[in-house]
Amino acid sequence: MRWLVAFSSGALGALAMPPFGLWPILFLTLPVAVWLIDTSMRGTAPIARKATRTALCGWWFGFGYFVAGLWWLGSAFLVDADEFLWALPLGVVGLPMVLGLFTALGFGLSGLIWRNDCWRILLFAAALSVTEWLRATVLTGFPWNAWGMAYGQGEALAQIASLGGLHWLTLLVLFIHAAPATLADKGSTAQRFVMPTVAMVMLALITGFGVWRIPADPSPTQPGIHLRIMQPNIDEAERGEPAFRANVIARYAAISGQKGANGETLADVTHLIWPESAFPFLIDHTPAALEDIAQLLPTNTVLITGAARAELPLPGEQRYRYFNAIRAYDSNGASLATYDKVHLVPFGEYLPLDNLLRKLGIRQFVNSPGGFEAGTAREAMTVPGLPPISPLICYEAIFPDEAILKQPPSISEEPAMRAGLLLNLTNDAWFGITPGPYQHLAQSRLRAIEQGLPMVRAANTGISAVIDPFGRYVTAPLSLGVSGIIDASLPQPLDDTFYVSVNNRIGAGLYWLSILCFVMIGFLMPRQSEKRG
């Protein structure tokens, strides 16, 4: 019965994530998590056995949360169903089973340091948030639907991320929403209400800070920049069809050349932006495509687009090396700038244990020979007419620290380049009309708030948007599953946020300081004599 309660509570907690956004539901589900640990820690069994029981409850809780929150990943296995349908259970059930191990670790760690009073809430929040941090970093990391996104998907509640980032937000969410568990304790009124009271004060302060931080007026814009984002809404299965390959640029040109909401034409645009993986071929190896781009672009208009590229084999190698890239081209079709994706998607863009899995007939989803190579450095992309760009291709936008430009060690004596905008090109067509693209958008918006930078986002099937440094849409975003354009000016960046400043100086910040405080208070506060119910 305990496993069913854990699974159901975890699954219900997924409703706190986009597109539902029912974050108050965590006031029900996270106290259940605390009570599950309470019941697992009862009895006279050795502490290790109790912690193991607790970890098992945590696995069921996490498994329910990730199955309910990530079921949409199964859509990717249906794009090439003839080849990948067999693996669908691995994505829909197998991945949540693995991710549940991190939740199990958080519960188990909580059990090892558990105590019989209200201060256990601090220990629970610290332990589970640390294992969430591990989920974001271990084996390339996967911080999708971190608990902090319960607040991070909005505007007012998300502003606190400008101080401490996503992981700090996760710690705060876990504490605030688990605190009501002590209302069911036995003991004095003070002991039962101290944690919920502190939690409500914290929530009020977070809300107040957000309301105070967001200005009443729209963000000022940078003069001389007129952006146009083109969203083509191409079904992933369509990319393999010869007709699409032959007409892709003509199709993009027709959408890109539409009149804007205020009558803008392509001649008014300084920067035209197309999404990730725009072409089903190597554009630099296709002169006719570059000629078509040159004919499309007015003089002084720059195209920024996702486009795979290839490099000649290195000495001793037999094959080309392929990169998932962002490219910039001028009105003559000449290349101006390139960024190669650094953080690739395992099994999507490359195969771990490549040689072994290929012998078994398994390949990555993106069908490039041998998979993509990772870029060597995360550096600013310099495009004429724009401030320095922090480029983020698809899944890179879910990693908080990867949006921060850091100077390479070889030139570390020089001041780090300050980005002026975040550019996220993505192709969410793999996931259809499901919660996945909404969750991806929310995480991208949070990067803008953390960094104090505008975010320009071009997505193949949606959701495309221009977002200011406070996470507000500059103009209405393009909805999921439609084609069209967005015309917008570029908002001005803010100065470095506290989160960025501290991260650049010491590589850590409020998150780890708060973890230390939670653990110290949890251990050092005198134990209360009253027992829990």
Q: Which residues are catalytic?
A: 276, 341, 394
- Tell me if residue 230 falls in helix, strand or coil: strand
- With a CB cutoff of 8 Å and minimum separation 6, the contacts of 105 are 55, 58, 131, 134
User: In the numeric block, which tokens belong to residue 368?
Assistant: 């490039």
Copy the structure tokens of residue 383.
Answer: 């495009």
Residues 6+ away with beta carbon under 8 Å from 384: 302, 330, 336
Instruction: Count Cβ atoms below 10 Å from residue 107 Cβ, excluding itself.
Output: 29
Q: Are 406 and 309 in contact (CB under 8 A)?
A: no
Compute the Cα dihedral for 91, 92, 98, 99 and give only its sign: positive
Q: Are strands 335-340 and 389-393 parallel, antiparallel or unpaired?
A: unpaired
* Strand, helix or coil for residue 185: coil
Task: Identify which of 310, 434, 419 has the alpha carbon closest to the alpha carbon of residue 372.
Answer: 310
The H or E element spanning position 306 is strand 302-306
Q: What is the CA radius of gyration of the chain?
A: 24
Residue type, 210: G
Residues in CB range of 298: below 8 A, 6 or more apart = 266, 267, 269, 331
Q: How many residues does the chain have?
A: 533
Q: What is the 3-state secondary structure (H, E, C) of 342-385?
A: CCCCECCCECCCHHHHHHCCCCCCCCCCCCECCCCCCCCECCCC
- Rounded Cα gap, residues 99 and 101, in angstroms: 5
Q: How many CA atoms lie within 13 A of 518 on its CB side?
A: 26
Count of alpha carbons within 13 angstroms of residue 4, beta-carbon side: 1
Cβ atoms 455, 467 nearer than 8 A: yes
Q: d(Cα 256, Cα 276) in Å, to the nearest integer?
A: 16
Using CA atoms, how far apart are residues 69 and 26, in angstroms rounded to an integer?
14
Please give the Cα distance from 164 to 167 (Å, whole number): 7
Separation between Cα atoms, residue 412 and residue 23, nearest integer Å: 42
Q: Are 26 and 51 in contact (CB under 8 A)?
A: no
> Three-state SS for 439?
helix
Beta bridge mates, 311 = 321
Closest CA to 258 of 279, 228, 235: 228
Q: In this structure, how many other beta carbons lie within 10 angstroms of the beta carbon of residue 415?
A: 8
Distance CA 457, CA 431 (A): 17
